[in-house]
Amino acid sequence: MELAYIPSPSRGVIHLGPIPLRGYAFCIIIGVFVAVWLGNRRWVARGGRAGTVADIAVWAVPFGLIGGRLYHVITDYELYFSEGRDWVDAFKIWEGGLGIWGAIALGAVGAWIGCRRRGIPLPAYADAVAPGIALAQALGRWGNWFNQELYGRRTDVPWALEITSSTDGRVPGLYHPTFLYESLWCIGVALLVIWADRRFKMGHGRAFALYVAAYCAGRFWVEYMRVDDAHHILGLRLNNWTALLVFLLAVVYIVVSAKKRPGREAVVEPGAADDDSGAASADKKAESDAATTEDEKTSEADDEAKPESEAKPESDAADDEARSESEDAKEPRDEAESARKG
């Protein structure tokens, strides 16, 4: 009897009346929201407009889903087009089956279309969303847990995954939770890219290339542990070769790009700086108007207090007049006294 293991859910879908709520789909949707949220924060910090990442994601996400599904169906075509299989199942994306390689490739095409429409350099956009994509993958892998798929070899470690389903050739038992390994690795990749981008000010697509290289390094050993059916070339699974090739391409891009285009892009979104300066001007104008209003209020208060302050000069004038009359009255007396003495 095993004392500790990770249980699998009894089912991956809950029906809300006639509407099915699938755990796999929820994981993907939540991952997309996290990627857009983090990407937007990074994009604004780079000098872009808020909301631009979401606008371009409208193009990138559908393309990515289609690309991921196409890669899976093409590389595992026997699951849908062999004898006894129903080709219609190739369209049932909610049952699982998205290849990250196809998702990134075709998703990049969608992002390029969105960036081109906005006059934005694709490498700068890719750098901003790279950590968010890694976190989206980390969340999306939990969809495999709901579907009881993509697990590793049998094991008796305390964190083993319990598989209870026997459909599609599954054998109930305890296996390595490769979905969990990859999820944790993707979180580490996201943190690595964020740190490296702050430390080295990576630009021109190098932060995205670092994400690709780091992910491929982890995917290689995670893929090596999996036991689900896959095509093999020279003793390695097809995805192992893909990870190795993409890793090398990403490293070469980082090296070449750093030599040809060091530093970051000065402008990532045309017009965003003008918007910021316009907002700053509006703030300064508001402050100036407020200061003017305050001065006017002070002047009005001084005017109201002025009659009271003028009371003293009027009193002084009355004293001067009384003093003058006294002196005038004194002069006849002085003349009379002088005549008497004479």
pLDDT digits (tens, 9 = 90+) for 311-323: 444 445 445 555 5
Scan for tokens 């997309």, then name that residue: 32
Residue 98's pLDDT is 86
Considering only CA atoms, which of 107, 116, 27 is closest in space to residue 59? 107
Tokens coding 336: 């009379």
- Give the span between the Cα atoms of 101 and 64, in whole angstroms: 9
Averaged pLDDT of the chain:
84
Report percent pLDDT > 70 for the chain.
Answer: 79
Task: Indicate whether 19 pLDDT > 70.
Answer: yes
Confidence class of residue 160 from pLDDT cuts 50, 70 and 90? very high
pLDDT digits (tens, 9 = 90+) for 264-311: 999 999 887 766 555 445 555 556 665 565 555 555 555 555 554 444
Tell me if residue 237 falls in helix, strand or coil: strand
Greater pLDDT, 192 or 87: 192
What is the average per-residue pLDDT within 200-221?
96
DSSP label at 226?
A: B
pLDDT digits (tens, 9 = 90+) for 213-241: 999 999 999 998 998 888 889 989 999 99
Cβ–Cβ under 8 Å, residues 44 and 98: no
- Give the span between the Cα atoms of 135 and 140, in whole angstroms: 8
Q: What angle do CA 127, 128, 130 make, to 5 degrees?
A: 65
Residue 200's pLDDT is 94
Considering only CA atoms, which of 67, 46, 69, 43 is closest in space to residue 56? 43
pTM for this prediction: 0.78
Task: Indicate whether 184 pLDDT > 90.
Answer: yes
Tokens coding 327: 């002196």
Task: Indicate whether 54 pLDDT > 80.
Answer: yes
Scan for tokens 């080709």, then name that residue: 87
